[in-house]
Structure 1
Amino acid sequence: MNIKNYEFKAKVSDIKKYERKLLSLQPNYQGLDHQIDTYFNVKYGRLKLREGRIENALINYDRENLSGAKPSDVILYQHQPDPALKQILTKQFGVKVIVDKKRKIYFYKNIKFHFDIVKKLGAFIEVEAIDTNQKFSIQELKQQCHKYFNFFELSQSDTIEMSYSDLVLEKMT
């Protein structure tokens, strides 16, 4: 499935404060997921296998490391957990890095909210304006993202330009 996506990620010290603020909108709570994202060595973009209780997917995405909200080109393959998939990918590409996180997932309309505690990195919120059926333009997704950036009263200095994988790799060096 090809997905149009516009997103931002912010490092926060008090994740509960932002979650309480979101709850005022009465979003749809999906649950708490313990996710292991295994990133593989690829020539272009990023390829990760997400293994969780709620979300299991092979995700290929391309996104520039820019501060603030940014677009992503995403191809998502949702699947039932099967260790053979990880074995094949590991054998063919090699593991680049593993990201271990606990993620609370909420939806409000087409907006997905993540409240993440990432092992070795800390607390983050991530907001994704998602279009899976060509309903929104990239400009509309961008506007939605900015709306929630302002709703949470975040500043540019809170935003993270890199993926969790890059941040974990940076910590390892």
Structure 2
Amino acid sequence: MNVEIKAKVRNLAKLLDKAKLISGSEGKVLSQIDQFYDAVQGRLKLRKFEGGDAELIYYDRPDDEGPKLSSYEKCTIHASEVDTLDRILKFSVGGKGIVKKVRHLFMVGQTRLHVDIVENLGNFMELEVVLKPEQTFEEGQSIANGLMEKLEIDKDDLLAGAYRDMLQAT
């Protein structure tokens, strides 16, 4: 389980500098292509990486602004199986759109900090506080709120939904 937030980024360079400072690292840059599929509940996507491998990710979270609880499952797909799995999923449940992004990934304690440059959409950031089994939503929410403060994320910049939803709305 994660506690997540998503927000618009007004100044990409400033946020990247703050993320490097807070994480004590240069982070990792990842190019990702997410193919979304129809799902009865939650969201289902095949995330393709530059090296050819992918992850099939199912996640479910409310489409609310601010910190929210997210459950997820994922599995690694080897490069030789990615195209076949994509075809099977499109035939069986239907494709729902593609999101292309460059992600800067930083680790801050138990939190994944993503700074995303999303093609045809803009710049965003996400916090994913990975909850330990003994932690409550409120503890994760407190961690997320503290990081939002350090990163100077304004509550007016918080977003609901997924990038795919935002792209469909444009």
Q: Give TM-score, length-normalised by structure 1.
A: 0.89
Q: Which residue matches 2:152? A: 153
Q: Which residue matches 2:38? A: 41
Counting only pairs closer than 5 Å after superposition, residues 110-125 of structure 1 correspond to structure 2 as: 110-125=110-125
Counting only pairs closer than 5 Å after superposition, residues 82-101 of structure 1 correspond to structure 2 as: 82-101=82-101
Q: Which residue matches 2:130? A: 130
1:15 aligns with 2:4: no
- Partners of 1:28 and 1:108 within 8 A in 2: no
Q: Counterparts of 1:84 and 1:170 in 2: how far apart (Å)?
A: 29
**Residue 28 of structure 1: CA displacement?**
4.7
- Partners of 1:29 and 1:107 within 8 A in 2: no
Q: In structure 2, the residue corresponding to 1:64 is in which secondary structure? A: coil
Change in 2 beyond 3 A, CA 1:74/1:96: same
Percent of aligned pairs with the same amino acid: 29
Q: Which residue matches 1:162? A: 161
**Residue 43 of structure 1: CA displacement?**
1.5
Q: Counterparts of 1:106 and 1:135 in 2: how far apart (Å)?
A: 24
User: RMSD of aligned C-alpha atoms?
Assistant: 1.7
Q: Which residue matches 2:103? A: 103
Deviations 1:11-66 (Å, cap 9, x if unpaired)? 11211101111222344555211111111011111111111137831111111111
Q: Aligned residues, how many?
A: 167
Q: Counterparts of 1:91 and 1:28 in 2: how far apart (Å)?
A: 42
Deviations 1:42-94 (Å, cap 9, x if unpaired)? 11111111111378311111111111111111112223232211111111111
Q: Which residue matches 2:61? A: 63
Q: Which residue matches 1:6? A: 3
Change in 2 beyond 3 A, CA 1:126/1:80: same
